Structure 1
Amino acid sequence: MPIATRSPAAPNAPRRKPGIGGFALAVLVLVASTLLVVIAWNAARQNMLRTAQADFRSSCDEVVELLASRLVNYELTIRGGAALFASMERPTPAQWHAYVDGLDLANRFPSMVGLGYAASVGRYQLERLQIDLRDSGRGLLTVWPRGVRERYAPIVYLEPRTAENLSAMGFDMYYDPVRRAAMERAMREAAPRMTSRVKLVQDLDPRVPAFLLYVPVFAGGVAPETPLEREAALTGWVYAPIRAERFVQVALAPVKRSVRFRLFDITDGKPELVYADPVDPRAAPAAFHHVVNADAYGRRWRFEFASASLFDAVPGLAPLRTALIVGLLASLLLFGIAWSLAQTENRAQRLAAEMSAAARRSEARVQALNRGLEARVETRTRELSEANRELESFAYSVSHDLRAPLRAIEGFSRVLEDRHAQALDTTGRDYLHRVRSAASRMSELIEALLKVSRVARGDVQPEALDLSRMSADIVAELRAAESDRQVTVDIAPGLAAQADRVLVRSLLENLLGNAWKFTRDREAAHIRVGVEADGRTFYVQDNGSGFDQAYVDKLFRPFQRLHDDARFAGEGIGLATVKRIVERHGGTIRANGAPGQGAKFMFTLEEQKQGSEHYFDPK
């Protein structure tokens, strides 16, 4: 009976075109994805704008706080000068110079042109002031602008005594209405008061904005209760002329600001510009604006802040715009994908059926390959077992077949030496001794060869081992064998490993035996057994004869020796055995040394499982 099969579609069959439903679905995907992209973009944009605006306003508040803090520092400095005038009737020029010099205005308050004192005198007291100053050795004080006025406030002290400050000496600040208004308010309210924008007499350019801060000085240092009493007790004002531009630069130097601002004095209703940051006419419009009003020593200041352009103030907008473009392109891509899926629906179903059949065929091939691989592995395992048995048989045959003639050589040479030694001369007896020594050496090499072959046989039986105790037992045996030797042995406590007991015992016997043997010429022989900082690399170190590091690769080869047999006897098989034991445990071994400076052998055994301890707990 024939098996029925499903024939593939004819290659020339007409393709089915997607219907109205497929196109509608593609359009719906386009509209929905575009809408989602725009909504997400707008939400992210608004969030960035709000965050940037909050940061901008925070920066504005920080600017205002820094300027206010700087003015407080100026106030404290001026109050200190007022306290000096209140503590004595009138300090000498030297005393005033010493006080101002100690303030270090050039470095601490570079925007202050100086620190001065203006005396408050009436028309009939001016001449007495001039006489007092002349008698103190300061010369005649010339008050300017000239003219007869009811009250004068000439500058009497002004430090530091620069050329521009000396030119201001004698200036009657009561003559200027702006200065007089601030001075009178300071007197009436017994508090520091500031002027609006003024031109300092030290400045030739009237466009340089500045202001002055006054602190009144009363006789006795205490302000009376009423304004009339304060006017009678007033002796003068300690003041500081401050250039506005330098004041802003110094106050805001500690911060890196990204906002620019203009400062207006709006106390009298008409805004008067005090300071303005330079503006690049080619710069884009600011993204944000903010206005802050603040009171400053009797004046009302208005700060008009402006941020950088939109993309500079909100740097995340440029990537966001790119994300919008990418999102719209992705929407178009989704539309194309949806349309393509609608076109290829039938083809996808046909391909799915073909792929299912191909998958079943591939699965069958994989199963066949697995069966073949299992058979090959079994064959190789059987061949390896047979090779191991043949190797054991060969080693046994070699040892048996070689030992028989060696025993005959050794036996006959002994008989010859015992019975016929007198018939031989000295040379003959020496030759006979060499024959017996060579036979003994050959026997030892055969025994060593058997040891190597035995190490490679058998299964590794790992168990928890106390390497510290095992090393101590081996050292005790070495001491018993050579009780006349004095060797210092330091064994780190708690050394532990998961390994085969018999093999590791052989490993330590070889390493410690070598260390014991090669320290024989040392008066202060020293052997150390421990573990490195990684907790898994053990080492055996001695201060014996050592070896040349250039020949380190020969150490672990069978029958390779780097020392003279006359000084250090051996078969050259111990370190080869050690290397095989370490490799059977999945570890590594290396050695460092130098001639006459000892040697250090470092080895690892099978890696500890996660969470296992590297130190033996005797409990």
Structure 2
Amino acid sequence: MPSATRPPAAPDTLRATPGFAGFVLAVLVLIATVALVVTAWHAARENELRSAQAEFHASTEEIVELLQQRLVNYELTIRGGAALFASVARPSPSEWQAYVDGLSLAQRFPAMTGLGYAAYVSRYGMQQLQIDTRDAGRGLLTIWPRGERERYGPILYLEPRTAENLSAVGFDMYSEPARRAAMVAAMHEAMPRMSSRVKLVQDLDPKAGGFLLYVPVFPGGIAPSTVVQRESAITGWVYAPIRAKRFVEVALAPIKRSVTFRLFDVTEGGRELVYGDPNYREGDAAAFHETTTVRAYGRQWRFDFASGPLDDAVPGLAPLRTALIVGLLSSLLLFGIVWSLAHTELRAQRLAARMSLAARRSEARVVALNRSLEARVETRTRELSEANRELETFAYSVSHDLRAPLRAIEGFSRVLDDRYAPVLDDTGRGYLERVRNAAARMSELIEGLLKLSRVARGDLVPERLDLSRMAGEIIADLRTAEPHRPVTVDIAPTLVATADPAMVRSLLLNLLGNAWKFTRDREQAFIAFGQHDDGETFYVQDNGIGFDQAYVDKLFRPFQRLHDDAQFAGEGIGLATVKRIVERHGGTITATGEAGKGAVFAFTLRLPT
């Protein structure tokens, strides 16, 4: 008996063996889906990083541009003062004060502590300068630091006259190497030049830093051609002391920035800090770093930019991490499903011998069910199409049948007005007038329904149409109706399309008629009909009253109006008719506009040519 029962078990074993391929497939599915999810996540992450880095780069360029533009504004202000000194021998203190007060430095350039003038004199010229100052009644001019030098560059004027600025008058800037280097460069090159980072005389804080911008002053405002001649001709410099921190804050106030930076002066090959954000991030603390070097009035400035941390600089990474986790969980879920299916397949193979007939019957039932389902879908589709046709027929019938009682209301109202008007008081006649107006309005709405019904019910008879000629005829009719209106109309030539002529004429009549109507209040009304460069999109443009783009979805709904009926009459059905005509031709229509600035309607007609 044992030998008789073992042979039948072999087929089950043989059938079960292929089931292990399902488990292999489950592992392959897990590997493939995980690889796909990780690859997609990595590609999306790289794209987010590139986008964020591009935005970071644009922000750095904007910061550099704003700072350079601010320096240009300083230069122009200082050049104005230099022009004043070049035009006269030397302005009086009151003239210089009036000039600087007119500039409103505190409001326009709060980073500038003042606007001053430093004379360029020799050792012998300094004695005469002190005598002239005393004779002019301005007291004794004290020059500091003390000591005899071949050349001096003392501050004579510095406005506004704050306590800090008054304390700086008499300071010989030519005695200080950093200032002297900028003053000599400005003199030799006859150009505005900037100093390296210095401690301003006005600042008591030793950590406060700034720089000075010098413009040389030559008699008549014309610099000689050679360096030697310039040294002989120069009378001094108009300059501005600028606080570095305040300069950056004011220049970058118009923008909201997340980028931090440090600014170094690297002109002499070293690295001198001019300005640094207190929250500047170094190394891996920032997601992105960038270095930019620019020339600024003879100085070499290097900007070291840093973004925020990775999550702040690239906010799109957090959703991507969530998507990665969800993707990996989905991969595990899919793996579990495939593994379960493989296990089910193995069990099914072991039961196949006993359930083959049942499986065939089940397969037959599934096939029959699919066929039944397809038949039911086809039946539901046919019923839906029939329901749509019945709905269109119903709308047409209702619109048509409602006109008879409206005509009766209009007729009896007219009779009542003609025969019994003397009997009615003003209130009664007002009510009667409102009844007639309401009936007329309802008649217009019914006519709109009929138009929509005709568009939906009519058959398309496509022809090759000359849209330019058709638009010209419509405009001619509009001009005839309102000959007093001077409207400029630009119709592009040779606009052709394959479409139903009656429907397309209705389409153009609605669009051009709307453009004509809504440009009524324009002194120089303009309407254009043309075609985009793609060769298939037509457009109607006007400079009329326009509309708010937020309500564009309401334009193509029946009886939806965005403008007052008392100002612009209509049923609110024209654009709905246009949309149905375009859709029946397989095209699309869009509208763009701005209140008070006109509108553009673009449409396509995609019937085969």
Q: TM-score normalized by structure 2?
A: 0.60
CA distance in 2, matches of 1:115, 1:87: 18
**Per-residue deviation at 1:123?**
0.8
Q: Residue 154 of structure 1 corresponds to which residue in structure 2?
A: 154
Contact 1:113 1:242 in 2 (8 A): yes
CA distance in 2, matches of 1:70, 1:533: 67
CA distance in 2, matches of 1:355, 1:53: 58
CA distance in 2, matches of 1:461, 1:155: 93
1:274–1:103 distance in 2 versus 1, CA, 3 Å: same
1:250–1:470 distance in 2 versus 1, CA, 3 Å: same
1:326 matched to 2:326? The reply is yes
CA distance in 1, matches of 2:193, 2:399: 95
1:530 matched to 2:437? The reply is yes
CA distance in 1, matches of 2:428, 2:36: 87
Q: Residue 130 of structure 2 corresponds to which residue in structure 1?
A: 130
SS of the residue corresponding to residue 137 of structure 1 reads coil
Deviations 1:557-608 (A, max 9, x none): xxxxxxxxxxxxxxxxxxxxxxxxxxxxxxxxxxxxxxxxxxxxxxxxxxxx
CA distance in 2, matches of 1:460, 1:266: 85
Amino acid at match of 1:157: Y
Q: Residue 223 of structure 2 corresponds to which residue in structure 1?
A: 223
Amino acid at match of 1:344: T
CA distance in 2, matches of 1:484, 1:258: 80
**Per-residue deviation at 1:267?**
0.7
Contact 1:18 1:343 in 2 (8 A): no
1:474 matched to 2:379? The reply is no
1:340–1:188 distance in 2 versus 1, CA, 3 Å: same
1:532–1:167 distance in 2 versus 1, CA, 3 Å: farther
Matched residues, number: 405
1:117 matched to 2:117? The reply is yes
Amino acid at match of 1:279: N
Q: Residue 287 of structure 2 corresponds to which residue in structure 1?
A: 287
SS of the residue corresponding to residue 45 of structure 2 reads helix
CA distance in 1, matches of 2:118, 2:425: 100
SS of the residue corresponding to residue 238 of structure 1 reads strand
Deviations 1:168-215 (A, max 9, x none): 010001110111111011001000000001111112222211110000
Q: Residue 37 of structure 1 corresponds to which residue in structure 2?
A: 37
1:216-615 to structure 2, matched below 5 A, reads 216-279=216-279, 285-345=285-345, 346=348, 463=401, 465=403, 469-475=407-413, 477-478=415-416, 483=419, 485-486=421-422, 519=424, 527-528=432-433, 529-531=436-438
1:120–1:525 distance in 2 versus 1, CA, 3 Å: closer
**Per-residue deviation at 1:317?**
1.1
1:22 matched to 2:1? The reply is no
1:520–1:222 distance in 2 versus 1, CA, 3 Å: closer
Contact 2:52 2:314 in 1 (8 A): yes
**Per-residue deviation at 1:251?**
0.6
**Per-residue deviation at 1:21?**
1.2
CA distance in 2, matches of 1:535, 1:471: 11
Q: Residue 416 of structure 1 corresponds to which residue in structure 2?
A: none
CA distance in 1, matches of 2:206, 2:414: 103
Q: Residue 163 of structure 1 corresponds to which residue in structure 2?
A: 163
1:124–1:532 distance in 2 versus 1, CA, 3 Å: farther
Contact 1:190 1:223 in 2 (8 A): yes
SS of the residue corresponding to residue 60 of structure 1 reads helix
SS of the residue corresponding to residue 183 of structure 2 reads helix
Q: Residue 431 of structure 1 corresponds to which residue in structure 2?
A: none
Contact 2:403 2:443 in 1 (8 A): no
Deviations 1:310-364 (A, max 9, x none): 1111111121112111111111111111122223344999689569769989x99
Amino acid at match of 2:232: A
Q: Residue 212 of structure 1 corresponds to which residue in structure 2?
A: 212
1:352–1:117 distance in 2 versus 1, CA, 3 Å: farther
1:293–1:611 distance in 2 versus 1, CA, 3 Å: closer
1:467–1:205 distance in 2 versus 1, CA, 3 Å: same
Q: Residue 200 of structure 1 corresponds to which residue in structure 2?
A: 200
Contact 1:486 1:524 in 2 (8 A): no
1:234–1:464 distance in 2 versus 1, CA, 3 Å: same
1:327–1:208 distance in 2 versus 1, CA, 3 Å: same
SS of the residue corresponding to residue 432 of structure 2 reads strand
* Structure 2 residue runs without a partner (length 5+): 1-11, 373-396, 447-575, 579-609
* Structure 1 residue runs without a partner (length 5+): 1-12, 365-458, 488-518, 540-609, 613-619
1:356–1:237 distance in 2 versus 1, CA, 3 Å: same
1:175–1:280 distance in 2 versus 1, CA, 3 Å: closer
Deviations 1:60-115 (A, max 9, x none): 11111111000000000000000111111111111111111111111111110110
**Per-residue deviation at 1:262?**
0.9
**Per-residue deviation at 1:148?**
0.9
Q: Residue 63 of structure 2 corresponds to which residue in structure 1?
A: 63
Amino acid at match of 2:422: Q
**Per-residue deviation at 1:23?**
0.7
CA distance in 1, matches of 2:426, 2:118: 99
**Per-residue deviation at 1:231?**
1.0
Contact 1:486 1:525 in 2 (8 A): no
SS of the residue corresponding to residue 90 of structure 1 reads coil
SS of the residue corresponding to residue 89 of structure 1 reads coil
Amino acid at match of 1:338: V
CA distance in 2, matches of 1:52, 1:281: 17
Deviations 1:464-487 (A, max 9, x none): 73666534532455478xx57526
Amino acid at match of 1:527: L
1:534–1:232 distance in 2 versus 1, CA, 3 Å: farther
1:532–1:278 distance in 2 versus 1, CA, 3 Å: farther
Amino acid at match of 1:37: V
SS of the residue corresponding to residue 128 of structure 2 reads helix
Contact 1:18 1:342 in 2 (8 A): no
CA distance in 2, matches of 1:461, 1:523: 30
Q: Residue 107 of structure 2 corresponds to which residue in structure 1?
A: 107
SS of the residue corresponding to residue 302 of structure 2 reads strand
Amino acid at match of 2:111: S
Contact 2:214 2:240 in 1 (8 A): yes
1:150–1:53 distance in 2 versus 1, CA, 3 Å: same
CA distance in 1, matches of 2:404, 2:277: 80
CA distance in 2, matches of 1:129, 1:329: 86
1:287–1:536 distance in 2 versus 1, CA, 3 Å: farther
**Per-residue deviation at 1:136?**
2.0
Contact 1:530 1:538 in 2 (8 A): no
1:535–1:297 distance in 2 versus 1, CA, 3 Å: farther
Amino acid at match of 2:432: I
Contact 2:260 2:281 in 1 (8 A): no
CA distance in 2, matches of 1:461, 1:329: 58
CA distance in 1, matches of 2:439, 2:29: 64
